[in-house]
Amino acid sequence: MELLLRSSIVLKGVQHVPFAQDHCICPTRLVPPGEATVNIQSWEEFRERSIWEYELKISPADLKLGHFVRRLSIPWEKTDFPLQGMMVDSFEKKKWLQEHCDWVIIDLDRSPNPYRPAVYARHGRDHDTHGIEGPALHLLRTASIGQETLSAAIGNYQKLDQQAESLIERLSADAEIDMQQARSVVDEMADGLEENLAALVWLSRIKQRDRYTAQHCINVAILSMGMAASLGWGRREVEMAGLAGLLHDLGKMRVDKEVLNKNGRLTSDEYEQVKRHTTLGYDMLRNEKAIPEEVARAVLGHHERPDGAGYPQGLTGEQIAPLTRVISIIDAYDAITSHRVYDPARSHHQALGILWKNRGSQFDRKFVECLTSFMGWVTPGTLVRLSNDDLAVVMESPSIRGFLPLVRTIRQDQGELHLGPELDLAGQRAAGVSNPLRVSEVLPDSYADIDMRELTVQLSRQV
């Protein structure tokens, strides 16, 4: 815990390097010359997409007996069905929906029949999404933060932090690096990942402007491991995801710092310099005995795109390995939700919206959908504004709560932060409380200079 509080200290001689030049993430800073800018998807557009967490929008013709229908393309008032939704338990109901609705949304959590229509169906037990239909995607939404899990997660986080800083310091000094030690740290975290997942995701919300380099490595490692586990990948594959996440941007230590820190649009030549970081990182890792080839390949290819417009090889679709696709998406998600010198942090919702808008082109379609299911509407550690204008932080958000998570209020008093009592938003609604509170806005990390390190210290003393 003491190290966590000290973690704002930057090692002497280590220049802050914002991992910024990841093309097509920032609409004003990162777009290569001659390319179109990215339109950020609005929250209204995002909530109308085909899939949201455990919900799936489908054609009524694709309904099966055992599907639970949650929403219709027509008002519920025009039907004889209950407002809370209905089970398709007869062919008569299915026929009525086919005749009257353009689309329906099914709730896979409440559907005894797990069948997905062909557009989203799993094609065999392939490596990349073999957990997409199972309970593994709910790992984060079934996890909770307790004294034991928070303590273990802080220990893992501190070791990752030390490892990331050591790698950066030694690479900046052109010194040898201990890859076996990096692998050992990730291996230890993988052992208790599922039990500590909620607390680790909470810690990934720690964002300090002067420590972007190390924290980005840490966060990509944590979230990549979580997503790999949620996909049902094996123990070794989860470890490889964490290792690739930790090492994915180390090649930037060999790129001109003035170019990396440039506060403005890059020239064509500068952009080409930045693009070299993938091959530079791969060259550093390819002959390391402690680093498996798939990890080195993920470092090389984490800026490849399904549409072939990525680099360095211009790979397309299935030519890009599943591990590489995961790192690509998590790298972008953490960058978008972090403050950089040229672009403010965006909220969890905005980040998912950007990824969703670019699925199938810049990012793998299936994995963007999996990330959305894994992370959910909000995650532990997400800052929110409640309907009474109070600020709060999310503690838990299981699917049974819908859009009504368990939160703790945050009070700011003369520069000090104070965690308030837990508020069960779903419980308020179920108990018939007049004017029950709800989440009115999802906020960016570090909103209003809220320091998640301070909240973590307080939480560790209270859980």
CATH code of residue 355: 1.10.3210.10
Residues 100 and 174 in one domain: no
Q: In the prediction, which pLDDT does 20 show?
A: 36
Number of structural domains in the chain: 3
In this structure, is residue 460 part of a structural domain? no
- The answer to whether position 458 is within a domain reads no
Domain shared by 312 and 402, yes or no: no
Query: Cα 64–67–71 angle (5° rounding)?
Result: 115
Residues 287 and 157 in one domain: yes
Q: Which domain holds residue 154?
A: 2-43+140-375
At 49 the pLDDT is 47
Q: Cα(459)–Cα(310) distance, rounded to whole angstroms?
A: 42
Last residue of a domain, one of 319, 350, 375: 375
In a domain, 456, yes or no: no
Domain for residue 25, yes or no? yes
Does residue 134 sit within a domain?
Answer: no
Q: What is the mean pLDDT of residues 290-313?
A: 96
Which residue, among 346, 377, 353, 379, has the nearest Cα to 447 in the 3D structure?
A: 346
Structure tokens at 1: 């815990």
Sign, CA dihedral 94-97-102-108, equals negative
One domain for residues 354 and 416: no
* Number of residues that make up the chain: 463
Same domain, 82 and 174: no
HSE-CB at 389 with a 13 A cutoff on CA atoms is 0
pLDDT for residue 17 is more than 50? no
- Here the tokens at position 326 are 């995961």
Do 403 and 358 share a structural domain? no
Query: Does 253 lie in the same domain as 112?
Result: no
Is 412 in the same domain as 304? Answer: no
- CA separation for the pair 382, 399 (Å, rounded): 16
Domain boundary, last residue among 119, 154, 175? 119
Residue 247 lies in a domain: yes
- Answer yes or no: do 345 and 288 share one domain: yes
Question: Any bridge partners for residue 363, and if so which?
Answer: 359
| Surface-to-core class of residue 329, CB atoms within 10 Å of its CB (0-12 exposed, 13-18 middle, 19+ buried) | buried
pTM: 0.77
Q: Is residue 449 part of a domain?
A: no
Measured CA to CA, the distance from residue 71 to residue 69 in angstroms comes to 6
Query: End-to-end distance of the chain based on CA atoms, in angstroms?
Result: 14
Closest CA to 240 of 187, 289, 188: 187
Considering the domain architecture, whether residues 205 and 264 belong to the same structural domain is answered as yes
Q: Which of 111, 109, 112, 129 is nearest to 120 (CA)?
A: 129
State the pairing for strand pair 104-107/86-87: unpaired
Q: What is the pLDDT of residues 126-159, one digit of tens each?
A: 445 544 444 566 788 788 898 899 999 999 999 9
The CB density around residue 431, as the number of other CB atoms within 10 Å, is 9
277 pLDDT tier (thresholds 50, 70, 90): very high
- State whether 430 and 341 are in the same domain: no
Cβ contact 73:103 at 8 Å? yes
**Range with the poorest average pLDDT among 26-40, 411-425, 448-462:** 26-40
Whether 100 and 222 map to the same domain: the answer is no
Classify residue 455: in a domain, yes or no: no
